[in-house]
Amino acid sequence: MNNQFDLGAFALYTFMLLSILSCNTENKKKLNETIAPIAVLPPSNIISLEQAKRTYDNYTKHRINLIEPYETQQRVPEEKFEPARFVDFDYKMIKDYIAYVDQEAKKAGVKKVTKLRMYFANYPNEKKFKDGKEIVHPRQNSLFLLPTLEKNGGNYGFYIGDDGKAKLIIDWKDNPLEKGTGSILKKERTARASMAANFFSNTGLYSGQSLILNRSGSGPPPRTEF
C-alpha cells in the first residue's frame, strides 16, 4: 500500500515538475519574442544615393576613359577590354573573414584590430598565379583587404609569423634598413609609399599566416544601377 502511494506521489510530483518546466520554457520563449533587438544606428559615413551616383560618374569621367584606351590599344589590341566597375565579396565570407581575423589576432597577442585597410590592386595578364591558382579577371583592377594594429602611434598592416605572434608587414620587406621596430618611425613615409610595390615584388609574402583577403568578384554593375 505504501509502495503504491509512493509511486503515485512520485508520478504526480514528476508531472507537476515537467509542467512547471514546460511553462517556464514557454514563458521564456514568449519573453524573447516580445523583446525587440537593440537598434543599430546608421554609421556617420553612409552616403546618399545621389552622392554615390556623382562619385560613380566621376570615376567614369576621370578613370574609365583613361583605362579603356590604354588596355585596348597598348596592352592587348586584339581584345576588347571593359574595365571593372566594382569589387564584391560574399556577405557571409566577409563576416567569416572578420571573425577569423579577430580569432587569429587574439591568439597572436594583438590587443585590438584597429582598421580594415583596402589596397587597390591590378591582376596580371596571365591565366594563373605562381601558386597555381586561377586568375579569373586578368588585367582587371581589384582590392585586397588587410587588418591593421596600432604601434608607435600609427596603424600598420600585420600578419601572423611562424612563432604565432603578430608581425608588421613593413618589417617583413627585404630591405634590412627597414627591419625592426626602431626603423618604423624613421622609414614610415618611404615604407608607405613603396609598400604596394614590395607586396608584388616578392615571390612569397612570408612563411607565416596571411590575413589578406582577395579573390573577389568584379565586373560592370547591373545596367539598372547608377
* Residues 168-212 pLDDT 10s: 998 886 544 444 433 443 444 344 444 444 443 443 444 578 888
Which residue range(s) make up the domain with 100?
Answer: 84-217
Cell of 8: 503515485
How many separate domains does the chain show?
A: 1
Q: In whole angstroms, give the CA distance from residue 224 to residue 60.
A: 16
The overall pTM is greater than 0.75: no
Is 51 contained in some domain? no
What is the spatial order of strands in the sheet that 166-168 belongs to? 115-122, 141-151, 154-160, 166-168
Is 172 contained in some domain? yes
Cβ-Cβ contacts under 8 Å for 155 (sequence gap 6 or more) = 114, 115, 117, 148, 149
Cβ-Cβ contacts under 8 Å for 220 (sequence gap 6 or more) = 82, 84, 85, 86
The per-residue pLDDT for range 67-78, each reduced to its tens digit, is 888 888 776 777
Cell of 97: 573573414
DSSP-derived 3-state class of residue 181:
helix
Cell of 51: 552622392
pLDDT score for 31? 59
Whether residue 19 is predicted with pLDDT greater than 80 in this model: the reply is: no
Mean pLDDT of the chain: 76
Is 44 contained in some domain? no
Is 99 contained in some domain? yes
The per-residue pLDDT for range 84-134, each reduced to its tens digit, is 888 888 899 999 999 999 999 999 999 999 999 999 988 888 888 888 888
Is 72 contained in some domain? no
pLDDT score for 115? 94
Is 162 contained in some domain? yes
Q: In whole angstroms, give the CA distance from residue 226 to residue 211.
A: 33
Is 202 contained in some domain? yes
Cell of 152: 608607435
pLDDT score for 80? 78
Is 38 contained in some domain? no
